[in-house]
Structure formats: structure tokens, C-alpha cells
Amino acid sequence: MSLPFVSAVNVKIFYGTSLLTSVSYNPQDLVKRVFGFEGDTVLINITSATGSVSIEKVYIYKCKGKNPSECVQTTPDVFESDANKAYDWSEIANQTSQKGCLMIIVKILTNDKIVWTGFWENIEKNNGFNRYEYPLDEVDVYVKDTEKASLVRNFIESFKVIPFSPEWVTRVVFPTASMLYEAGGNKQEIENQEFVSKTETGNQETGIDKDYYFIFPGFSSQGITGVMNPALFYLNPLYTCDNQDCEEELGERQAACGCFDCGCLSGQYCDIEHGCRVLDMIKLSLVSTPNTKISNCYEEHIIVVPVKIINPPTGLSVVEEKASLGGKEYEISCEESSETYVCNVTVPPVPSCDEGTYEVGPNRIMFKIRFNNAHETIEKDISVEFPNITIGSFECGNNQCETELGESSVTCCYDCGCSDGYCDAVPSDTEGYCRQDLGNENLRIVNVNPTHFYTFNPGDLISFGAEITERPKSLSVSNWECSLTCSVEGNSCSASCSVSCNEEPGSENTYNATCTLSVNIDGYDSLKSYTVYPVLNVTAKYVNGSKGSVTKELSKAFPAISYGAHWCGDNKCDPDESSDSCC
């Protein structure tokens, strides 16, 4: 088995006698050739050298003793993709010399471009097979002017082919050659294996007249005569501006045609008037700081935000206008005037609007703009931040009912009062609401004990609890008093009472006090039964927001208190009786 040879071609690029630059390329980077020998059979396998290259067609010419110019006029074996072929030695070799030559032409697809390359193979049989080739080491290319040197170098690096446009190259020289075998054709001619060929004495060529030319340098040195692998030359045409095709291989550059064909670098776009411009330089900017202080969070407001597009692309249009307020997006309308966009931004009411100040942010004006990037239309989002929006509201507790800011008896009865009842709020806690004024129904007497005595003794006390329900925040209770009526066996009598109360911890909604009641009955007669009907009277005072205070006199009747009649002989042994005093 014979492995591929590795031979790089060093292309030196001259202007006059000055070496401007050089570049190397190796056909082996594109095509892999493997030879094997079994008996009198020669095995040939030709494939792509890398996954980025596709073999489109292979021609194998069996040249025997012919030179390249002669051999290319014979009929090759044609393969529509990779070639894998076994030849009998008699098909390849000159039987007298037992030497054979193969000319291999390969069509390749690389970088979305079709190129051709070629090889000249030598095989000898002498007690076994020996395959060898003469690598082409150097080609000197003379350019028309110094600017073409980089174009030639870039072209070779991209396609492993030497350009030979007369606008770029004046001549090429093969320093070690003494003979040039040439085979050329236009694209269709090569597809049909219809080459023209010629043989030139010397080592230089001044031009080609076909799309492609394979030039095989012949040499004779130190008793060795042979043919080197070919260099492929391409009669590259001139590029065409504004055809939407960046013909870099033909030398097209932005400097020559602008950016409409070749585009711009990453992060840039092609502007019809200014050429390549940086996308990130397109910005949205505030023309001036807008007034973002508004009042009344209950209402919708419109604020005006003037903006300007910095570095606007030629022919841009604004296709979408939005505002982001505190993270929520809203459609807005902007009117253009003298390169300024005046945007009306609607600020919605605050959902939980109450007293105090509300701040909305962060806020942005956002545009989607559309413009041309060379021949295509693209879009870009740009935005600019503007200050937080401060929404003022009413101030509850300033003794002013700011109805224009949404303040009312519902939101702040401390300032606005109540149409009925009172505002249960105090200066230290103005958050309150309207309530019904206290009435006798709010005063309760509970746990009266006892409600019956077997006899009346001055100084006996009756305990009870006093409660005031629907307790105002600022409630104070005073003037604990009582009154009563007295009945003795169906007739009126004279009596009086007094109460004493101490406030106890209660709940937020109920006032509590523990109290005692004492009764005095004038002219008490123990032989008679008495019933008294006390009434509790108190003074309740509380604040009505900022409107002053309210005083209410509350009254609540006790359950009836009874005193029994007793005497010695009533068939009851009362507590104050004994067997000694009343047996």
C-alpha cells in the first residue's frame, strides 16, 4: 500500500523585483489519494481529505508514456464522486520501459465554490511497484500593482487556486522548470473533458484564455527528467458591484463597492448613505427631563416624554411604540417633529389608591425600529429610561378635605367628616371610618348579684358589670350615677342609690367596668316587701375626627331588686333570727 505524498506549493508574490508576500497551499488538504498494489493490479482510491470538502467528479487519465499535453487529449475514466478503481498494469504502463503515468483531475466543492485540482503520478515496476511524484515547490506570481498582492494571497488561501486575471497578474514563473505542459478549458469544456493543450518551452506564462489552466512544469536536472504536479490557474473575472453577491474571490471589497454586496462586520449594518455602522450606536435618548410629578392616584394621567433617536439609520421607520411603567408595558403614541418624538404616556390609576405618595418605576420608552441593512430589512429594539413617576394623593389628617385628590368621608373621614354619625379617628391615628353615635343600646349591665335580699340592711352592696359596646377609639366615661323608683306592696316609696365603678381591661370593641350599687330605703318597714328599679346613668365622650368631640348621656335599667318582709311568727327562720329570739 502506498500512502499520499505531502507537498506544499509555496507561491511568492512579486511586484517587479520586490517580493511583497507569499502563501503556501497543499492540494493534499483537499484530496486524499491512496494507491495499492496486488500482483499486476494497481488499486486507486481517491476521496476528500476533510469533511468540509466534497468530491464532485474525478478524471483518471492513463497516460503510459505520454506527457500531460498529449495525455489530456485521451479519454479518461470518469467518476461522479469518489474514485475507487483497480487497473491492470498493462492498462497503465509502457510495456517496454515498465513505466506508467497517471494524470488525475478532481472537481471539488469547498466553501460553496467549485474548484479543480490535479496530480501527476509516476509508477515503475521493477521487482515490485514504486509510485512517486515530483512535487511543485514554488510558483512566482507577478502582480499588476501592489494592491493586488493581498487579493492574490487571499484567493489562494480560500480556494487553493492561483488567480490569473490580467487585471491582477502579469505573468507567472516556475523557477525550476524548463518546459510547461498546459491543459485548459472553460467550465463546460472541462465538464465534458474537452481540454485544449499546448507545450511551451521555458518557465513562464503571461496569460491564459480559458477559465481554468493546469500547468505541469517539466524539468531536467542532474540527469533526471520528469513532470511535476500541476498548478491550477483560474481566469477570475472582475467582480460586479450591487449584485447582492460578495465576490470576494474576485477581489470585491467594501472599499470598492461599499457594503451592499459584502456586508459588514458582526454587530454592524450597511446603511445606504453611510456604509457600515455599528448597530449599538443606534440609541434612544431623552430630549429633556419630563415632568413626572402628578396628583390624584384615583385618576388616569398623561405625561409627555420627548425622545430622540441617536445615529438614526437612513430611511428608518418606527413600527412599535411602548412604555414600560414599573415593569408593566403599555401602548403609547408618539408624534415626530423635527427629529424629536413627543410621546404621550398614559399613567393608569393606582389600583390600591389611598392617602400618601406613590412612586412608579423603573420606566422606559421603547421603540421597535425597522430599516435596511443593505438589501434586507431588519428590526431593532431601542429604549431609554426616564425618571420615576411620583403620584401624589390626599393627606389624611391635615384638616382639609381634598376632594380634588380623591379624599372623601370613605377614604378619610377625619378630614371630610361623616354625613351621619361620627368619625372614629384621632389626631394620632387618623385612619378611621364613619360609625353610628353611641346610644342607650350600647350600654349594658351584666352579672348583677344579688337581685334579692330577705331584708334590707343599709350598706348592702350589689355588684355588677357595665359594658359599652361599639367602643370608639377615644372613648372616656365619667359621671357614674344612678336613679331608681321604689315600690312597697303596690305603693310607691322613697329610696335612693349610688354607684361606684372602676374601668377594667376590655376588648378593642367593648368598654368594661366593674361596679357596685348601694340602695337606701327611707322609713324601711321589715314587715313589708320592697322592690326597687335602679337606672344606671353615665356620660360617654369621644372624638369625632377633626370636628371636635361628642358627649352622649347613656342610661340602662337594672333588673328589679327585691327585699322580702319578715317577722317572728312568719314561719320562716330568717338569718337574723334564732331559737332564743324567735322560737
pLDDT the model gives residue 4? 38
CA distance 485 to 493: 8
pLDDT the model gives residue 253? 65
- Asked if 545 contacts 417 with a C-beta cutoff of 8 angstroms, the reply is yes
CA distance 210 to 213: 7
Beta bridge partners of residue 517, listed in sequence order: 462, 499
pLDDT the model gives residue 113? 81
The residue type at 468: I
CA distance 64 to 85: 17
The residue type at 222: Q
In the chain, pLDDT over 70 holds for what percent of residues?
95
Name which of 92-106, 218-232, 397-411, 478-492 the model is least confident about: 397-411
pLDDT the model gives residue 338? 85
Cell 510547461 sits on residue: 180
Q: Give the CB-side neighbour count of residue 530, counting CA atoms within 13 A.
A: 26
75-79-80 Cα angle (round to 5): 130
The residue type at 103: M
pLDDT the model gives residue 2? 35
**Highest mean pLDDT of the ranges 13-22, 90-99, 357-366:** 13-22
Average pLDDT over residues 491-512: 94
pLDDT the model gives residue 254? 59
Average pLDDT over residues 129-154: 93
26 pLDDT band, cuts 50/70/90, is: confident
Q: Before 362, cis peptide (omega within 30)?
A: yes
Q: Residues 372-417: pLDDT tens digits?
A: 999 899 999 999 999 999 987 888 888 888 887 778 888 889 999 9
Dihedral sign computed on CA atoms, order 55, 60, 66, 71: negative
Name which of 130-134, 378-382, 471-475, 568-572 the model is least confident about: 568-572
Q: Residues 159-206: pLDDT tens digits?
A: 788 999 999 999 999 999 999 999 999 999 999 999 999 999 999 999
Query: Cα Rg for the chain, rounded, in angstroms?
Result: 57
37 pLDDT band, cuts 50/70/90, is: very high
Q: Residues 291-332: pLDDT tens digits?
A: 998 888 888 999 999 999 999 999 999 999 999 999 999 999
H-helix or E-strand containing 177? none
SS (H, E, C) 198-228: EEEECCEECCCCCCEEEEEEEEEECCEEEEE
Q: Give the CB-side neighbour count of residue 33, counting CA atoms within 13 A.
A: 23
Pairing type for strands 476-488 and 434-435 reads: unpaired
| pLDDT greater than 80 at residue 348 | yes
CA distance 134 to 416: 108
pLDDT the model gives residue 6? 42
Pairing type for strands 9-15 and 138-143 reads: parallel
Grid cell for residue 326:
414599573
Within 10 Å of residue 361's Cβ, how many Cβ atoms? 16
Question: Checking phi first, is residue 118 left (phi over 0); if not, alpha (psi -120 to 50) or beta?
Answer: beta
Largest CA distance in the chain: 175
User: DSSP characters for 409-472?
Assistant: TTT-HHHH--SSSEE--BTTB----EEPPP-GGGEEEEEEE-SEESS--TT-EEEEEEEEES--
Residue 2 DSSP code = B
Average pLDDT over residues 66-91: 96
Question: Checking phi first, is residue 263 left (phi over 0); if not, alpha (psi -120 to 50) or beta?
Answer: left
Q: How far is CA 289 from the centre of its chain?
A: 27
CA distance 463 to 262: 105
| pLDDT greater than 60 at residue 19 | yes
Q: Which residue has the higher pLDDT, 110 or 458?
A: 458
In the chain, pLDDT over 90 holds for what percent of residues?
69
The residue type at 44: I
The residue type at 262: C
| Total residue count of the chain as it appears in this document | 583
CA distance 218 to 120: 11
SS (H, E, C) 26-95: CHHHCEEEEEEEECCEEEEEEEECCCCEEEEEEEEEECCCCCHHHHCCCCCEEECCCEEEEEEHHHHEEC
Burial class (CB in 10 A: 0-12, 13-18, 19+), 267: exposed
pLDDT the model gives residue 388? 95
User: What are the chain's domains?
Assistant: 1-240 (no CATH), 278-392 (2.60.40), 398-435 (no CATH), 437-563 (2.60.40)
| pLDDT greater than 90 at residue 20 | yes
CA distance 319 to 297: 31
Q: Which residue has the higher pLDDT, 406 or 367?
A: 367
- Asked if 381 contacts 371 with a C-beta cutoff of 8 angstroms, the reply is no
| pLDDT greater than 90 at residue 208 | yes
**Highest mean pLDDT of the ranges 217-221, 252-256, 562-566, 570-574:** 217-221
CA distance 444 to 464: 10
Q: Is 70 helix (H, G, I), strand (E, B) or coil?
A: helix
Q: How far is CA 508 from the centre of its chain?
A: 51
Q: Residues 236-276: pLDDT tens digits?
A: 876 677 777 777 666 666 555 778 888 888 999 999 899 99
The residue type at 381: D
The residue type at 69: S
